[in-house]
Chain A
Amino acid sequence: MMRLEKRATPSRAWSVATPVLAVLLTMIAGGILFAMLGKDPVAAIRTIFWDPLFNPQFAAYSRPQLLVKAGPLILIAIGLSLGFRAGVWNIGAEGQYVVGALTGAAAGLALYPMESRLIFPLMVIAGALGGLLWAMIPAILRTVFRTNEILVSLLLVYVAQALLSSMALGALRNPQGGGFPGSRNLSQWASSANPELIAGTGMHWGVVAAFIAVIFAYILLQRHMLGFSIRLTGQAPRAARFAGVSPRRLVILCFGISGALAGLAGLFEVTGPAGQISLDFAQGYGFTAIIVAFLGRLNPIGILLAGLLMALTYIGGELAQFMLGVPAAAIQAFQGMLLFFLLAVDILTNYRIRWAREAS
């Protein structure tokens, strides 16, 4: 008879080992999934995890893509992880990402075709503010009216997507675009471009921002009072209240930080890799970032690694689509599976398994 015994404190060894275990299990289950689709499972897994980095034919193209895709994922996931730690559930990062891109792009396009070094910083600020304000809607509704922040933040994603199509077809549409949806190309306008900073690395300002966010979050959680409040609220909400932590302030702060970071990610995406506001520029980074945050165990360094791994599945997934005809949706299912396995094996961190006979 198997019995679970709650550990007094989560096991450190397992908290490092479980993400690795989850990735391995996902590879096995994913292999079965690919085999069911009639693809060679070993080739599929190798194409996803190995070829983008080491295949001499593709690596030159794929390696820079790693940072391009990991940048927004890490940036968003860092913000989300702060809230998740404190039990504040912002699951609408996708919406904040879209709105940040819209406000940032709008701020820039208002000045088109002026050329100035100040335009890009202005757009960055506008993007962060847009994401922040969009995240303030669920946060303020939560603190003032006690409205469930999970539902509101998620429902606002659908509103943001409708807003995006309205903007791409209307206010922000390229007047010289021949009536096609989508804004002017921001990456080709010198003042708004977010170019590759070091050739061949994929490093753009968004990636720089992501690295800064990782360092910032690390210091915040380890050395700052706010970080302590966040961790304390997550572990013992009652104790936190006695210690004088204001739950409302924490909700506002967690939503504010995650919204601003998601908005930044959106702005860097439309000025760089995506190049313009279009109907489908978002790519679901806001949702995948939730998986990244958990895979990284809500730890900044972990998120950095998890973001890179998740980026790899995006790139490898595209490669598998191209080389083996594995459908894009299979990769999405594959990423979802990863979160499942992660949550499943997490029990090893928090509980000890005892084998004992049934008590008489």
Chain B
Amino acid sequence: MDIGGINLVTLLATLIVASVPILMAALGEMVVEKSGTLNLGVEGMMIMGAVTGFVVAVTTGNPVLGFLGGAAAGAAMAGLFALLTQVLLANQVASGLALTLFGLGLSSLMGQGWNGIRPPLTGDVPLGPLADIPVLGPILFSHDWMVYLSLILVVAIWWFLRATRAGLILRAVGESHEAAHALGYKVRRIRTGAILFGGAMAGMGGAYVSLVRVPQWTDGITSGAGWIALAIVVFASWKPWRVLMGAWLFGGISVLQLNLQAAGSRIPVEYLTMSPYIITILVLVLISSGRGRAMGAPADLGKTFHASH
């Protein structure tokens, strides 16, 4: 099944791998936004996760520790954001931007001297005979554990938000912090928890870029993946399943344009490079031009909560 020199099975298999970083980051950010906080620092948390995960994995020789390190770095960055927005009541848009600007600088500082090294390999999960099934095997059953973890998290987060009491409380805080506060829920504590979770997810997503997807460290390695993740949350109308669809869509586009570049397409490389961003914008337009105001957006998204009594 070759189309224009591109093998369709390989394309779908790489699509699933390529979508993991955006998927992880977007899932985390979705939970954060469901709790009513807008953290625009996804890109900064991702790139800090990417560099920390890379350094930890190379030093210890263990990619699992690398991913944990990435998650810790993302959560630490998110902790700064939580401190600013939840304790010091700073503007969320500005704080998120600060997180990204700071993360880009700090990551490039931390990554000095780590260029050109290959990280330890994250192996595929041995699924035995399943991986040998033609077509479906390579697409679905021969991936590393992070791919499966990210898919499990889609289900887990969907279930958490929909069917658990804690998920209901989280959503209540996002819809009306005043009402949730009046009911006795600790708005800032819940939001801080969500922010830290979002940071850990973004950090792991970033670590996946530097440990599996590329795999090496270069400055600015996430190249806007964090912003695309933010866009996907809007595209998905804050629903986990649609986040998965969005991540696959954009994973697909980025893989396709890379394949077209490699296959020597007549479209210039620069225009292929810009295509994921342009398509993200087009999709955002389509989604927002549809019905009413941004559908599914938590009502208190981005508002500062200050309990006056």
Binding site for B on A (CB under 8 A): 4, 6, 37, 89, 91, 141, 144-148, 150-152, 154-156, 158-159, 162-163, 165-166, 169-170, 287, 290-291, 294, 327, 329-337, 339-340, 343-344, 346-347, 350-351
Q: Pick from B109, B274, B284: contact of A147, CB below 8 A.
A: B284
CB distance from A332 to the nearest CB of B (A): 3
A154-B227, A339-B97 are known contacts; what are 13 more A-B pairs with Cβ within 8 Å? A146-B288, A146-B293, A148-B284, A150-B93, A151-B234, A156-B281, A158-B274, A162-B270, A329-B112, A334-B105, A336-B102, A339-B98, A344-B83
Q: Is the interface of A mostly helix, strand, loop or mixed?
A: helix
Contacts of B223 in A (CB 8 A): 158
Q: How far is the CA of A237 from the CA of B65 in the complex (A)?
A: 48
Q: How far is the CA of A37 from the CA of B277 in the complex (A)?
A: 36
Query: Residue among A91, A158, A169, A346 with the most chain B CB within 10 A?
Result: A158
A294→B94 contact, CB < 8 A: yes
A146-B289, A155-B277, A344-B88 known; A170+B103 contact, CB < 8 A: no
A339→B101 contact, CB < 8 A: yes
Q: How far is the CA of A332 from the CA of B231 in the complex (A)?
A: 26
Contacts of B274 in A (CB 8 A): 158-159, 162-163
B90→A147 contact, CB < 8 A: no
Q: Pick from B88, B112, B277: contact of A343, CB below 8 A.
A: B88
Contacts of B98 in A (CB 8 A): 291, 336, 339-340, 343
Interface string of B98-118 (1 = CB under 8 A from A): 100111111011001000000
Q: How far is the CA of A339 from the CA of B230 in the complex (A)?
A: 22
Contacts of A91 in B (CB 8 A): 97
B84→A151 contact, CB < 8 A: no
Question: Does residue B294 face the partner (Cβ distance < 8 Å to A)?
Answer: yes
A326's nearest neighbour on chain B, judged by CB, is B109
How many residues of B are in contact with the other chain, CB < 8 A?
47
B288→A148 contact, CB < 8 A: yes
Contacts of B234 in A (CB 8 A): 148, 151
Contacts of A151 in B (CB 8 A): 227, 230-231, 234, 280-281, 284
Q: How far is the CA of A195 from the CA of B296 in the complex (A)?
A: 54
A4→B285 contact, CB < 8 A: no
A152-B284, A336-B104 known; A350+B89 contact, CB < 8 A: yes
Question: Does residue B80 face the partner (Cβ distance < 8 Å to A)?
Answer: yes
B281→A150 contact, CB < 8 A: no
CB distance from A239 to the nearest CB of B (A): 17
CB distance from A170 to the nearest CB of B (A): 7
A157's nearest neighbour on chain B, judged by CB, is B224
Q: Pick from A147, A155, A330, A333: contact of B224, CB below 8 A.
A: A155
A155→B91 contact, CB < 8 A: no
A329→B40 contact, CB < 8 A: no
Contacts of B95 in A (CB 8 A): 343
CB distance from A93 to the nearest CB of B (A): 12
Contacts of A89 in B (CB 8 A): 93
Q: How far is the CA of A347 from the CA of B304 in the complex (A)?
A: 12
The 6 A-B pairs at the shortest CB distance, nearest first, are namely A336-B102, A332-B105, A333-B105, A166-B270, A329-B108, A162-B274
Question: Does residue B306 face the partner (Cβ distance < 8 Å to A)?
Answer: yes
CB distance from B281 to the nearest CB of A (A): 5
CB distance from B147 to the nearest CB of A (A): 26
A159→B277 contact, CB < 8 A: yes
Question: Does residue B152 face the partner (Cβ distance < 8 Å to A)?
Answer: no
Q: How far is the CA of A166 from the CA of B234 in the complex (A)?
A: 30
Q: How far is the CA of A145 from the CA of B286 in the complex (A)?
A: 8
Contacts of B108 in A (CB 8 A): 329, 332
Q: Pick from A4, A170, A327, A332: contact of B104, CB below 8 A.
A: A332
